[in-house]
Amino acid sequence: MSSGRGISSLTSKDLSEKYQKLGSSVLQSQKEHLLTQLQVFQAALIQFKNEYSSEIVQNQEVRTNFSEICIAFGIDPLVVASSIIGEKNSSTERTNQLCLKIIEICTQTRSINGGIISMQDLLDLINSDTWVNQDLHLAFQIKDITTALNHLKILGDELQIVTLGKKDYIKSIPQEISSDQQKILETSDIMGYVTITILKDNFKWKRIRCQSAIDELVSNGILWLDKQNGHAIKYWTTTWINK
Amino acid sequence: MNDIKKTGKFEFPKVYNFPPFFTEQPNSNTFQSQLEQWKDVIIKYCKFNKLFALSITGKPLESEKDELDNYEDNDEEIDDDDDDDNDNEVGNNDFSIFKNDNINRTVSNQFIRKIYEFLIESEAGEWIDLKNKNHGILIYWYGIEEWSQILYDWIDNTGQLNSILTIYEIRKGNLSINQEFYNMNNHMLIKILNNLVNQGKATIMKDENNNIVGVKFGGV
Amino acid sequence: MGNTTSSTSPSNPKITAHDKAVLQLKLQRDKVFKSKQKLEVIINHETKLAKKFIKSKELEKAKLTLRKKKRQESLLNNLERQINTLEELIDTIEFKLIEKDVLYGLEQGNKVLKEINNEMSIEKIDKIMDDTADAIAYQNELSERLGTQLTNGEEDEVDEELRLLEIEMGVVKSTPHVIKEDTTKVKQKLDSIPVVPSNIITNEDQEIGGEEEEEENDNRVSQLA
């Protein structure tokens, strides 16, 4: 009957595989269980916040404890802070939390844009965040971001507003952008890309000057390389991904 | 044979229309996120269009169609001049996910290989034939465990436990027409069935040439 | 019993000779089905070809093509019939297999039923009833003996307590000796129990006490044996 199977099931490799499978399925179900619990806690905390918002705002100790708990459960402190409106502290608190959000988004998108993001893109990303958008019905504006960035200056100039042409960008990398590179970025925003020839024609630069400025931008991930057989290489700005 | 024509078209993410997306990026962080996004596009595209395998150039692969395709191919010269009506399959055959005609961009073979390797690494893909990668790649929009569960549940719910089913019947049978695994790539189905065999839920049956042709599911 | 442990090591379904036969039939059906599909493609193509010849006024060729098509269509019909036959056969076999299962199930059920009936033979029931009767008699006498050693007043108190308990619990529960099978009979006997000792004591008092004691001892010995 199934004797062959019986013997083969005794081989240790098979057995350990089965144990592994069992183990991972147990882990998986535990994880799911924990996740639901977490969600329940999160909901409960938000409920609590809505009920006792004045208490949270007025009592320093309660506030600290509460935000510590929130952070431990993965609730965005921005949500907590900005939803308590109408109190004195709230606007600074809200700005502080917006700062955190800005830093978070800059870090998250760095692998795509090399650490330079346009003000508009940043704003869109903040406002499309489900917490901000659906749970709070908040819409931040450019001036909120500028205020937030002013606050951040105290911490050093990690985040900088860079104006290229008519557009503002936020730079979250330490590298300086040379004036050549600024021109390149500015130009690339017009058509989405630049080529060596475009630069040469427009700025009367030598090829080597164009190339070295571009190479640095590409290796930093700020410009994306676009190489197709039989075509001149183009260098794209990431702000055009959304167009 | 008639594939159900897609209702509506798959909507590619914005990045698919960003020309440099089709070129391997030199910055390693950028490249990594580029791979992630390619994986995302491929999985979603394949799921939407019910594709189970892609060729080495990114064209949809259908394992069963081969013989029939040959017929079409042989006669191609005869009827290509006056054919205006329903021959969109031929047009479709030329489609590759790594070729975006809107922006005139194509991913190089080398880069495709890296994307495929990435899919396999993240368990969303598997070479059809490890020894000859040119045979193409299986795309797992569901993981193999998930597929096993889907298939087994279907067998259970349709009262087919302890019945004998042919592989062909599962992939093309009338009962499975509305199932997600309808038309599934043969290689993929075999891998899923083997997984179920290891779990003790199925026994496979071979023909005289040692090909897996049938299966019997059992209760646990 | 050991089911929980054995189910953790799965055993794959077994393939029987029947299964193999069904597989062969199904494979055959798949094959015919594939040829049918192929033929459909060809016929489809031939229609296109004929149209093309008509367009280019090559009527002879068009006719030839249509003749070919006709032949293939009858072939197609044949194939469809074959598929039908095969599927009918498969269905019949599968149905018969189910019938077989049902029959087997019936057989098993019948067997179990017989076994249960054997368990419940008349002699056994009689014996159980006898045992029960003995137990009741023993209980009866025990109560009597206890009754004799109590004073009238105490006996009244016992009666009173019994009544109170009865009220508290609602109805009298059966004694632990009683076996469930013959509840009605036992109940009848039980009902008479509390009445008997009180009657004896109030009316005949100690006269019978000595005799009873001896008898009771005999009874007890016989029961123990």
Give tens-digit pLDDT for A5-14. Answer: 445 445 556 6
Number of structural domains in chain B: 2
Chains in contact with A, counting 3 or more C-beta pairs less than 8 Å apart as contact? B, C
Q: Which of B21, B27, B29 sits opposite A218 (nearest CB)?
A: B27
Residue A7 lies in a domain: no
pLDDT tens per residue, range B150-175? 999 999 999 888 889 999 999 998 88
> How far apart are the C-alpha atoms of C159 and C165, rounded to whole Å?
10
Instruction: For residue C148, give the nearest of C108, C204, C188 by alpha carbon.
Output: C204
Residue A67 lies in a domain: no
Contact A160, A152 (CB under 8 A): no
Predicted pLDDT at C137: 85
Answer whether A236 sits within 8 Å of B105, measured CB to CB.
Answer: no
Number of structural domains in chain A: 2
Q: Which residues contact A240 (CB under 8 A, 6 or more apart)?
A: A189, A192, A193, B18
Contact with chain B for residue C45, Cβ under 8 A: yes
Query: Are residue B101 and residue B190 in the same domain, yes or no?
Result: no
Q: C6: which chain A residues are within 8 Å (Cβ-Cβ)?
A: none
Query: Are residue B162 and residue B202 in the same domain, yes or no?
Result: yes
Nearest CA in chain C to A15: C9
Say yes or no to pLDDT of A85 above 70: no
> How far apart are the C-alpha atoms of A47 and A80, rounded to whole Å?
11
Q: C12: which chain A residues are within 8 Å (Cβ-Cβ)?
A: 2, 5
Contact with chain A for residue C12, Cβ under 8 A: yes
Phi, psi (degrees; rounded to nearest 5) at B206: -110, 160
**Among candidate residues B139, B162, B189, the one where a domain is terminated:** B139
The answer to pTM > 0.90 is no
Residue B9 lies in a domain: no
pLDDT tens per residue, range B70-119? 444 444 334 433 333 333 333 455 789 999 999 999 999 999 999 999 99
Q: Among A123-137, A196-210, B123-137, C131-145, name the one with the lowest average pLDDT.
A: A123-137
CATH number at residue A208: 1.10.10.10
| Alpha-carbon dihedral sign for residues A168, A170, A176, A177 | negative
Inter-CA distances, C85 with A139, A178, C26, C31, C37, Å: 69, 81, 11, 14, 17
Q: C14: which chain B residues are within 8 Å (Cβ-Cβ)?
A: 203
Percent of the residues in chain A that have a pLDDT greater than 90, as a whole number: 18
> How far apart are the C-alpha atoms of B196 and B151, rounded to whole Å?
9
Burial class (CB in 10 A: 0-12, 13-18, 19+), A152: buried
Contact with chain C for residue B156, Cβ under 8 A: no
Angle at B34 between CA B28 and CA B36, to 5 degrees: 110
For strand A234-237 and strand A193-194, is the pairing parallel, antiparallel, or unpaired?
antiparallel
Answer whether B29 sits within 8 Å of A218, measured CB to CB.
Answer: no
Structure tokens at A90: 């709230």
Residue A141 lies in a domain: yes
**Among candidate residues B84, B117, B139, the one where a domain is terminated:** B139
Q: Which stretch, A47-51, A67-71, A194-198, has highest mean pLDDT?
A: A194-198
> How far apart are the C-alpha atoms of C114 and C112, rounded to whole Å?
5
Q: A1: which chain C residues are within 8 Å (Cβ-Cβ)?
A: 14
Phi, psi (degrees; rounded to nearest 5) at A26: -65, -45
Confidence of residue B214 (pLDDT cuts 50, 70, 90): very high
Residue A236 lies in a domain: yes
For residue B184, the enclosing domain spans 144-217
Query: Are residue A151 and residue A199 in the same domain, yes or no?
Result: no
Instruction: For residue C178, give the nearest of C137, C149, C210, C217 by alpha carbon.
Output: C137
Query: Are residue A169 and residue A100 in the same domain, yes or no?
Result: yes
**How many CB atoms neighbour CB B6 within 10 A?**
10
**Among candidate residues B104, B123, B139, the one where a domain is terminated:** B139
Interface test with C, best of A3, A8, A9, A22 (most C CBs within 10 A): A9
Calculate how close chain A gets to B30, using CA atoms only, in Å: 5
For residue A142, the enclosing domain spans 76-174
Q: Which of B79, B165, B203 sits opposite C15 (nearest CB)?
A: B203
pLDDT higher at C179 or A231: A231
**How many CB atoms neighbour CB B52 within 10 A?**
24
Chains in contact with B, counting 3 or more C-beta pairs less than 8 Å apart as contact? A, C
Confidence of residue B65 (pLDDT cuts 50, 70, 90): very low
Inter-CA distances, A65 with A55, A60, A77, C33, Å: 12, 9, 12, 71
Nearest CA in chain B to A15: B198
Q: Where are the alpha helices (DSSP H) in chain B?
A: 28-48, 66-79, 88-93, 109-121, 144-157, 167-172, 186-198
> How far apart are the C-alpha atoms of C146 and A172, rounded to whole Å?
100
Interface test with C, best of B83, B90, B164 (most C CBs within 10 A): B164
What ipTM did this prediction achieve?
0.74
**Residues A28-32, mean pLDDT to the nearest whole number:** 85
Q: Which stretch, A99-108, A204-213, B1-10, C134-143, has highest mean pLDDT?
A: A204-213
> How far apart are the C-alpha atoms of C218 and B203, rounded to whole Å?
71
Query: Are residue B74 and residue B167 in the same domain, yes or no?
Result: no
**Residues C25-54, mean pLDDT to the nearest whole number:** 89
Residue B7 lies in a domain: no
Q: B22: which chain A residues are within 8 Å (Cβ-Cβ)?
A: 226, 228
Predicted pLDDT at A82: 53
Answer whether C9 sits within 8 Å of A9, measured CB to CB.
Answer: yes
Q: Which residues contact C1 (CB under 8 A, 6 or more apart)?
A: none
Say yes or no to pLDDT of C219 above 90: no
